[in-house]
């Protein structure tokens, strides 16, 4: 199988995660998996015809749009790798400002900066081309990438993860009676209780499972890098209201106070931007 690995606007962390798969990566490479194009590994300028294209990053520049359309036209199967590609991800944080304001605030002082031609916003790739599989994560765990690629190579559909991170986290969810929320560095976390029951803003209940919940298991919060689960996939505009409801139910704090707390406390790290622009052709393709 001929494979191309393409990077659009991103931090290149998803391809790094693929390389971090260790011996499992060698297993994939020893199968029928021939990387014929990847600016990270190979000095080849022309985008070739391939069976499988793996694409990290989203669309922020005119060049990104041109490239993804060419890649799509020359690929039988296209996998969106990582939440920048699938949803917009952290690279769409810039969408909170208009392009004009963004350029004035961030670039007007740097006289020598020569920018590529930018689009008005950062977009996930599904806004421009059809996507065969979406593999969200920031970055996706190496084992998820390997499983997905091995399944595609062997012609089987990859296992889908449809539920939420809470199902993989072994912390006890108990209703609490708190009077405020906490930033993760403000107090020591109990090892067994749900982070939300302790007043921390963990997004596990609104985030797709599949990663194995490494963050809450390690005493940190889930910051939502796998994107919404099936039940919330088409409701991304309601995500904030959903978060407030969950926080209120598990902490005993009123929804109004939860909203105030989310804005009041600068130590509360709670957001992972899901682009409201993300369009999924079918939830059956989200892994």
Residue 247 is a binding residue for ligand SF4 (CB under 6 A): no
- Report CA dihedral (123, 148, 29, 215) to the nearest 10 degrees: 80
Q: How far is the CB of 201 from ligand SF4 (least distance, A)?
A: 9
Least CB distance to ligand SF4 at residue 150 (A)? 20
In the shown chain, the binding pattern of residues 76 to 115 toward ligand SF4, with x for contact by CB under 6 A and - for none, equals: ------xxx----xxx------------------------
> Is residue 166 near ligand SF4 by the rule CB under 6 A?
yes
Q: Which of residues 169-198 bind ligand SF4 (CB under 6 A)?
A: 169, 171, 173, 194-196
Tokens at 78, concatenated: 């296209």
For residues 264 and 270, give the distance between their C-alpha atoms in angstroms, rounded to a whole number. Answer: 12
Least distance in angstroms from the C-beta of 189 to ligand SF4 = 9
* Sequence-distant (≥ 6) Cβ neighbours of residue 4 within 8 angstroms: 35, 36, 37, 38, 47, 48, 50, 52, 53, 54, 71, 74, 75
When the beta carbons of 1 and 173 are compared against ligand SF4, the nearer one is 173
Least distance from ligand SF4 to the Cβ atom of residue 271, Å = 12
The H or E element spanning position 86 is: helix 83-86
Alpha-carbon distance of 20 to 139, in angstroms, equals 11
**Interface with ligand SF4 (CB under 6 A), residue from 4, 92, 205, 251:** 205
Tell me which DSSP letter residue 1 carries: -
Q: Is 126 in the site for ligand SF4 (CB under 6 A)?
A: no
User: What are the two backbone dihedrals, phi and then psi, of residue 180, each rounded to the nearest 5 degrees?
Assistant: -160, 165
Chain residues binding ligand SF4 by CB under 6 A are: 10-11, 13-14, 56-57, 82-84, 89-91, 138-139, 165-166, 169, 171, 173, 194-196, 202, 204-205, 207, 211, 213-216, 222-223, 225-226
């Amino acid at each position: 199988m001929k494979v191309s690995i393409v990077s659009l606007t991103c931090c290149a962390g998803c391809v790094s995660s693929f390389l971090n798969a260790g011996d499992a990566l060698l297993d994939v490479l020893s199968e029928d998996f021939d990387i014929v194009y990847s600016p990270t590994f190979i000095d080849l300028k022309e985008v070739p015809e391939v069976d499988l294209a793996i694409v990290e990053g989203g669309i922020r520049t005119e060049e990104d749009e041109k490239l993804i359309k060419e890649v799509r036209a020359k690929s039988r199967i296209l996998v969106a790798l990582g939440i920048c590609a699938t949803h917009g991800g952290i690279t769409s944080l810039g969408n909170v400002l208009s392009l004009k304001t963004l350029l004035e605030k961030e670039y007007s002082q740097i006289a020598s900066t020569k920018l590529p031609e930018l689009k008005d916003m950062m977009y996930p790739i599904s806004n421009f081309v059809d996507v065969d599989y979406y593999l969200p994560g920031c970055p996706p765990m190496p084992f998820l990438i390997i499983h997905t690629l091995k399944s595609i190579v062997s012609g089987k559909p990859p296992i889908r993860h449809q539920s939420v991170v809470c199902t993989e986290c072994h912390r006890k969810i108990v209703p609490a009676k708190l009077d405020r929320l906490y930033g993760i560095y403000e107090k020591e976390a109990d090892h067994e209780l749900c982070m939300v029951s302790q007043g921390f803003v963990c997004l596990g209940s609104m985030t797709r499972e599949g990663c194995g919940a490494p963050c809450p298991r390690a005493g940190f919060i889930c910051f939502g890098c796998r994107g919404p689960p099936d039940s919330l996939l088409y409701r991304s505009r309601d995500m904030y209201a959903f978060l407030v409801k969950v926080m209120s139910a598990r902490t005993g704090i009123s929804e109004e106070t939860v909203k105030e707390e989310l804005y009041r406390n600068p130590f509360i790290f709670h957001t992972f931007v899901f682009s409201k622009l993300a369009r999924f052709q079918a939830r059956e393709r989200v892994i």
